[in-house]
Amino acid sequence: MASPPWLLSATEGNDDGAAGDENDNGAGIEDSFAVMRSDLSGRGRKTAEDKAAIVDDGDAEAGAGVVIVSEDDAAAPASVSEEANRRIRRLLDRRVLPLVCCLYVLSYLDRGNIGNAKTAGAKRDLGLDSSQWAWVLNAFYVCYVAFEWTTMFWKFFPAHVYVSVLCLCWGAAAMSSGAARNMAHLVVARGFLGVFEATFGAGAPYFLSMLYRRKELGFRMSLLVGMSPLANTFASSLAYGITQIRGSLAPWRLLFIIEGSLTVLFAPVAYFLLIDSPSTAPFLSKEDKVLAVQRLQVKDSTAKGGVKWKQVVAGFSDYKNYVHALIHFCANYSFSALSNFLPSIVKDLGYDSVKAQGLTAPAYFAAFLVCVAASYASDRFGRRGLIVAGTSALGVVGYGLLAAVQDDARAGTRYAGVWLAACGVFPALCINVTWVLNNQGGDSKKGAGLAIFLTIGQCSSFISSVVFPESDAPFYTKGCAIGCGLTGVILVCSLCMSFALSRENRRRDLMYGPVDPNVEVDVSEQSPLLSNEGEAQASNRAEHDSDGGGSGSGSDIDKRRRWSRLREAGIFVWALVATAAVIVIAVWAQHNQQTSRAPSRSDKRNLVFMVSDGMGPASLALTRSFRQHVDGLPENDTLVLDKHFWGSSRTRSSNSLVTDSAAGATAFSCGKKSYNGAISVLSDYEPCGSVLEAAKRAGYMTGLVVTTDITDATPACFASHVLLRQMQDDIALQEVGHGVLGRSVDLMLGGGRCHFLPNGTDGSCRADDVDVIKLAQDKYGWTYTDSRDGFDKLKGGDKAHLPLLGLFASSDIPFELDRKNMNDVYPSLSEMAKTALRALERATSGSDKGFFLMIEGSRIDHAGHINDPAAQVREVLEYDKAFKAVLDFIGDTDTETVLVATSDHETGGLATALQEPGHLPVYNWYPEALAKASASCERLAHKLQDHVSKQSTPLSQPDLKAWINNELVIPGLGVTDATDEELSLLAADPEGATNNFAAVISLRAHVGWSTHGHTAVDVNVYSSGGPEADRIRGNVENTDVGKFLSHYLGVDVDTITKELREKTARPRVAAAGADEAALQWKSSYHEYEGMQ
674 among known catalytic residues: no
Strands 1014-1015 and 906-907: antiparallel
Predicted local distance difference test score (pLDDT) of residue 603 = 65
CA distance 533 to 513: 16
- Position 782 pLDDT exceeds 60: yes
Taking each continuous run of H as one helix and of E as one strand, the counts in the chain are 39, 12
User: Residue length, the chain?
Assistant: 1092
3-state helix/strand/coil string of 269-331: HHHHHCCCCHHHCCCCCHHHHHHHHHCCCCCCCCCCCCCCHHHHHHHHHCHHHHHHHHHHHHH
CB-neighbour burial class of residue 976 (10 A; exposed 0-12, middle 13-18, buried 19+): exposed
Q: How confident is the model at residue 922 (pLDDT cuts 50, 70, 90)?
A: confident
- 841 CB-near residues (< 8 Å, 6+ apart): 606, 797, 851, 889, 893, 895
Tell me which fold the domain 84-298 belongs to: Growth Hormone; Chain: A; (1.20.1250)
- 308 CB-near residues (< 8 Å, 6+ apart): 302, 442, 444, 445, 524, 525, 526
| Alpha-carbon distances of 546 from 126, 801, 926, rounded to whole Å | 76, 97, 110
- Report DSSP state, residue 707: E
Q: Is 856 left (phi over 0), alpha (psi -120 to 50) or beta?
A: beta
Is 1006 known to sit in a ligand binding site? no
CB 744 within 8 A of CB 692: yes
Find which of 61-65, 132-136, 545-549 is predicted with most confidence, using mean pLDDT. Answer: 132-136
Least confident among 53-67, 366-380, 552-566, 630-644: 53-67
Predicted local distance difference test score (pLDDT) of residue 70 = 33
Cβ burial 1047-1083 (10 Å sphere, 16+ → b, else e): bbbebebeebbebbeeebeeeebbeeebeeeebeebe
Q: Which residues sit opposite 614 in a β-bridge?
A: 906
CA distance 406 to 271: 51
- Report DSSP state, residue 649: E
- 240 CB-near residues (< 8 Å, 6+ apart): 354, 355, 357, 358, 361
Q: Is the dihedral of CA 866, 869, 871, 877 positive or negative?
A: positive
Catalytic residue among 661, 669, 830, 1024: 661
The torsion defined by the Cα of 915, 917, 919 and 922, in degrees rounded to 10, comes to: -10
CB 92 within 8 A of CB 273: no
- Position 246 pLDDT exceeds 70: no
Class (C level, CATH) for 605-911+1013-1083: alpha beta
Predicted local distance difference test score (pLDDT) of residue 96 = 92
Is 543 known to sit in a ligand binding site? no
Least confident among 154-163, 315-324, 489-498, 636-645: 315-324
Query: What is the average pLDDT score of the chain?
Result: 78
Cα angle 195-198-204, degrees, rounded to a multiple of 5? 145
- Position 60 pLDDT exceeds 70: no
Whether the predicted model's global pTM rises above the 0.75 cut? no
DSSP E strand stretches across 155-305 = none
CB-neighbour burial class of residue 286 (10 A; exposed 0-12, middle 13-18, buried 19+): exposed
Provide mean pLDDT across the span 162-181.
Answer: 92
Q: Which residues sit opposite 722 in a β-bridge?
A: 679
Q: How confident is the model at residue 1076 (pLDDT cuts 50, 70, 90)?
A: very low
In degrees and rounded to multiples of 5, residue 141 shows phi and psi of: -65, -40
In degrees and rounded to multiples of 5, residue 364 shows phi and psi of: -65, -40
CA distance 712 to 756: 13
Cα 34 → chain centroid: 38
Residue pLDDT, tens place only, 939-958: 999 999 999 999 888 889 99
Provide mean pLDDT across the span 979-998.
Answer: 95
Is 714 known to sit in a ligand binding site? yes
Is 623 known to sit in a ligand binding site? no
Residue pLDDT, tens place only, 737-760: 999 999 999 999 999 999 999 999
Q: Which residue has the higher pLDDT, 869 or 234?
A: 869
Q: Which residue has the higher pLDDT, 219 or 1088?
A: 219
CB atoms within 10 A of CB 921: 9
Is 856 known to sit in a ligand binding site? yes
CB-neighbour burial class of residue 643 (10 A; exposed 0-12, middle 13-18, buried 19+): exposed
Cis amide linkage into residue 474, ω under 30° from 0: yes
CA distance 17 to 205: 28
